[in-house]
Amino acid sequence: MSAPLENDILLRALAREPVPYTPIWLMRQAGRYLPEYTATRARAGSFLALAKTSALAAEVTLQPLERFPLDAAILFSDILTVPDAMGLGLYFADGEGPRFERPVRDEAAVRALTPPDPAGSLRYVLDAVREIRRALSGRVPLIGFSGSPYTLACYMVEGGGSEDFATLKRMLYSRPDLLHRILEVNAASVATYLNAQIEAGAQVVMIFDTWGGNLSAAGYIEFSLAYSRCVIAQLTRENDGRRVPVILFTKGGGQWLEAMADSGCDALGLDWSTDPAAARKRVGARVALQGNLDPLALFAPPERVRGEARRVLDAFGAAPGHVFNLGHGISQHTPVESVAALVDEVRAYSRKLRAG
Amino acid sequence: MSAPLENDILLRALAREPVPYTPIWLMRQAGRYLPEYTATRARAGSFLALAKTSALAAEVTLQPLERFPLDAAILFSDILTVPDAMGLGLYFADGEGPRFERPVRDEAAVRALTPPDPAGSLRYVLDAVREIRRALSGRVPLIGFSGSPYTLACYMVEGGGSEDFATLKRMLYSRPDLLHRILEVNAASVATYLNAQIEAGAQVVMIFDTWGGNLSAAGYIEFSLAYSRCVIAQLTRENDGRRVPVILFTKGGGQWLEAMADSGCDALGLDWSTDPAAARKRVGARVALQGNLDPLALFAPPERVRGEARRVLDAFGAAPGHVFNLGHGISQHTPVESVAALVDEVRAYSRKLRAG
C-alpha cells in the first residue's frame, strides 16, 4: 500500500478539474543544468550507467524537487531503453547523441525484432520507478514515459539522431511494409513497457513523439499516430484507485492536434510554436493541454522570465486543464535562477488568474 | 525589351487563373544532385566563388532546365548574400554550413549595421539575373529570392547555422530592442535587394523564411512576419507589364498560414507537414499555394515517386492556384531519375486532373 498522494494537483489538472493554481513540471527537469545532477552523473561514470543504475536514477529524479516546488517527478531514464532491450546495442559516442550498434535496416533485421520482456532487460527501469515512489512517499505524482513507436523507429532505422532521418524516410517511401512491421513490434513493446511502469508505480504516463513532426500530414496519421493510439488503447488506466492519465506529445505536431486529441489520450503536450488559445479552440474540452514556454526563454534575466511565464499563462487562460511546462526539454546551460523564477511566477500568477 | 514569355503557366497559377496543367519547379533545383552542377562548382573552386561569378551562377541556373521540362528557373545564389554585403564576412567551413566572421552580437555591432547598396556589393547577383534572363530568352520565368529578415538575423546573430539558435534566442528574450533594430535594417535591405532583382529581370520573387518555425506563435508574428510584410509592402509589383508575384515560405510555419496569407503575398510555400486540403480551407482563395512533397520521397523507386506525386496533386485538387514543388530544398543524393519521374508525372497527371 502506497502513501496517499499529498499533492494531486497535476492529476486534477489532467482530468480538467478546477485547481487553485496551475501545476508545473519541466521536461528533462532532472538534467545537466543542475550541478547536483552533473555530480551524480560523474559518480555513475556515464549517462547510460546513470540511467541503468536504479538507485542513481532515483537520486537524480528527486533532485529538482529539492530545489523547486514542482508538482510532479518524472522518471529519469532514456527514451531508447526499449530498442536497447531489443538487443540493438545503445551507446553514446563522446559528446554526441545516442547511437545503435545494430540498426534495423533490412528485412532480416526487421523480422528478428521481438518485444522485450520488461521484467527482464528493463527491470532496472521498474526498480527505479519503485525506488522513486518509495522516496517520494506521496509528495507528488510520478510520471513514467516512453518514446513513441515512430520515434523509436526513427532511431532504430537511422542508427542514431539525424537532421533529416533520410535512412528512415527511404524505408518509409520504398518499403512501408517493413516500417509498419517495426512499428507493430514497437507499439506492442511500448504498451507492455508502460504498463509495467504503471504496475511499478507510475501515476501518469507520457508518450514522447520527438520526431513525428518530420512526417507529412498523411504520414503522421499512418506511421505515428496510429501506433500511439494502439499503445494508448492497451494501457492500464488505473493505479491505487485513481485514473492514470496519458499525455501525448509530438514535437512539431501543432497542425495535427485535432487528430491527436482523438487518440484516447487525456492530454496533449504542446511545443512552443502552438498558440495556446488557438489550440484550446481546436480541441475543445476533450483533453488537457500541457506546455508551452520556449525553453530558451529561460536564458533571459529572471524578471523577463517571469514576464514570459505570465504571457503563457494568460494565453492558456483560467479554464481547467492546463499543466505548465516548457515546449521541449530544458537546455543544458539554463541558469538555475531562471528556473526558480519560472516556478515561483507560475505558482503565484496562476493563483491570481484562477481566483479570477 | 525582353523576349516575350513562352511559358507563363507559373505566373498564371500564382495569379490563381485556370491552367491546363500544374506548373512545377523545385527548391534548390540547381544543386548537388546534378553531376553537371558538381562539375561547374569544381571549376569555380568553391560554392561561394560559384555564387559570386555571374556567368557560372547563370550556367548552373539553367542546367536543370536542360534535363527536365520545369516551368521556372530560380536564380542560383546564396540565402546570405545580403549580410555578406553588409560586411559580416560570409564563409563556408569545409563540409559545413555557412558561417560569418563577424557575427552581430552586441549593441555596437547592431548600431553599425546599414543596408547595402545592391548596385555595389551585390552587383554580381544582378549581373547573374540579367545574364539568366538573356539566356532564358523567354522560355520560362525567372524567380528571384532572398532570405527573410528574420532568417537572415538568425544567421547574423548566431554566426552560422544552429540546432536551436540559442544565441539568437538569448537576444530575442533579453534584448528584443536589439533584434528589432537588426530586423529593421534587414527588412530595408531585403526590400531594396529584391527590387533590384526585379529591375534586373526577376519575374517572381520568393522570401525564404527558413527559421521562422523556431519561434513561438506570438514571436513569429512579432519577429518574422511583421518584417516580411514590411518587405512585401515595399516591392515593385510590375515587370514587363506583368504583375510580379511574391511567394512567402516559412518552414515549420504551417500553424500560421492565415496570418501569412494576410501579409500581402500572392502565394504561400508549404512544407510537407501541412495537409494541402486543410491549408486551402484555411486560407480560402486569397493566395496560391506552392508545395509540398517531402523531398525524401524522391529516394523511393520511380514508380513510388509517381504515386507520391499523384497523392500530393489529389490533395491540392483541381482548383486554380497550385504550384507543385517540394516541401523543402531537394537533397544532395537524390537520384536524377526520380526527379525525371516526378516532373513527368506531375505534368501528365495534373493535365488529367484539370481536364476533370
Q: Summarize pLDDT for A37-63 with one digit per residue, the tens.
A: 999 999 999 999 999 999 999 999 999
Residue A94: band (very low, low, confident or very high) from pLDDT cuts 50, 70, 90: confident
Give the bridge partners for B320, in sequence order.
none
Cβ–Cβ gap A297/B173 under 8 Å: yes
For residue A1, pLDDT beyond 70: no
**Residues sharing a CB contact under 8 Å with residue A143, sequence separation 6 or more, in sequence order:** A25, A72, A73, A74, A75, A202, A203, A204, A205, A206, A247
A207 CB near a chain B CB, below 8 Å?
no
Residue B148: band (very low, low, confident or very high) from pLDDT cuts 50, 70, 90: very high
Give the bridge partners for B246, in sequence order.
B205
Q: Which of B166, B272, B300 lies at the smallest CB-CB distance from A174?
A: B300
Cβ–Cβ gap A255/B272 under 8 Å: no
Q: Could you report the per-residue pLDDT of A187-225, keeping only the tens digit for each?
A: 999 999 999 999 999 999 999 999 999 999 999 999 999
Residue A8 falls in the annotated catalytic set: no
For residue B1, pLDDT beyond 60: no
Residue A349 falls in the annotated catalytic set: no
Give the angle B240-B241-B247 at the CA atoms, nearest 5°: 80
User: For residues A75 and A129, is the Cβ–Cβ distance under 8 A?
Assistant: yes
Picking from A145, A160, A156, A22, the residue whose alpha carbon sits closest to that of residue A73 is A145
Cβ–Cβ gap A252/B252 under 8 Å: yes
Q: What is the CATH number of the domain that holds B350?
A: 3.20.20.210
Q: Judge whether B2 lies within some domain.
A: no
Residue whose grid cell is 504496475:
A199
d(CA A72, CA A85): 27
Q: Could you report the per-residue pLDDT of B118-138, keeping only the tens digit for each?
A: 999 999 999 999 999 999 999
d(CA B148, CA B256): 16
pLDDT, averaged across chain B: 97
Give which of B28, B173, B311 to mutate to test A binding, by max A Cβ within 10 Å: B173
B249 φ/ψ angles, rounded to the nearest 5 degrees:
-125, 115
Q: Could you report the per-residue pLDDT of B41-93, keeping only the tens digit for each?
A: 999 999 999 999 999 999 999 999 999 999 999 999 999 999 999 999 999 98
For residue B17, pLDDT beyond 60: yes
User: Closest residue of A to B327, CA-based?
Assistant: A216
Q: Judge whether A75 lies within some domain.
A: yes
Q: Judge whether A328 lies within some domain.
A: yes
Cβ–Cβ gap A296/B164 under 8 Å: yes
Q: Could you report the per-residue pLDDT of A162-171, keeping only the tens digit for each?
A: 999 999 999 9
Q: Does the pTM of the predicted model rise above 0.95?
A: yes
For residue B20, pLDDT beyond 90: yes
Per annotation, catalytic residue among A28, A99, A280, A347: A28
Q: Judge whether A176 lies within some domain.
A: yes
Cβ–Cβ gap A273/B174 under 8 Å: no
Cβ–Cβ gap A173/B331 under 8 Å: no
Q: Could you report the per-residue pLDDT of B182-196, keeping only the tens digit for each?
A: 999 999 999 999 999
The crossing angle, in degrees rounded to 10, of helices A276-283 and A302-316 is: 20
Contact list, B252 vs chain A (CB under 8 Å): 252, 273
The total number of structural domains in chain A stands at 1
Q: What is the pLDDT of residue A95?
A: 75
Residues of chain B above pLDDT 90, percent: 96
Q: Judge whether B4 lies within some domain.
A: no
Residues of chain A above pLDDT 70, percent: 100
A296 CB near a chain B CB, below 8 Å?
yes
**Residues sharing a CB contact under 8 Å with residue B84, sequence separation 6 or more, in sequence order:** B78, B90, B121
Contact list, B213 vs chain A (CB under 8 Å): 273
Q: Judge whether A3 lies within some domain.
A: no
Q: Which of B255, B294, B304 lies at the smallest CB-CB distance from A255?
A: B255
Per annotation, catalytic residue among B12, B32, B175, B304: B32
Per annotation, catalytic residue among A32, A130, A181, A282: A32
d(CA A82, CA A196): 12
Residue A173 falls in the annotated catalytic set: no
Contact list, B279 vs chain A (CB under 8 Å): none
Cβ–Cβ gap B299/A170 under 8 Å: yes
Per annotation, catalytic residue among B16, B21, B28, B271: B28
Q: Which of residues 267-286 of A touch B (CB under 8 A)?
A: 272-275, 278
- Domain that residue B263 falls in: 9-355
Give the angle A214-A219-A220 at the CA atoms, nearest 5°: 65
For residue B141, pLDDT beyond 90: yes
Q: Judge whether A21 lies within some domain.
A: yes
Per annotation, catalytic residue among B41, B99, B133, B354: B41
Residue A12 falls in the annotated catalytic set: no
Residue B219: band (very low, low, confident or very high) from pLDDT cuts 50, 70, 90: very high
For residue B272, pLDDT beyond 80: yes
Q: Judge whether B24 lies within some domain.
A: yes
Q: How far is A282 from chain B (nearest CA, A)?
A: 12
pLDDT, averaged across chain A: 97
Three-state DSSP state, A355: helix
**Model ipTM value:** 0.96
A79 φ/ψ angles, rounded to the nearest 5 degrees:
-70, -15
Picking from B305, B307, B260, the residue whose alpha carbon sits closest to that of residue B279 is B260
Handedness of CA A319, A322, A328, A334 (dihedral sign): positive
Q: What is the pLDDT of residue A240?
A: 83
d(CA B211, CA B209): 6
Cβ–Cβ gap B272/A297 under 8 Å: no
Residue A281: band (very low, low, confident or very high) from pLDDT cuts 50, 70, 90: very high
Q: Could you report the per-residue pLDDT of A310-336, keeping only the tens digit for each?
A: 999 999 999 999 999 999 999 999 999
Cβ–Cβ gap A297/B252 under 8 Å: no
Q: Which of A255, A275, A311 lies at the smallest CB-CB distance from B274?
A: A255
Record the cell numbers describing residue B202, joined without a space: 526577376
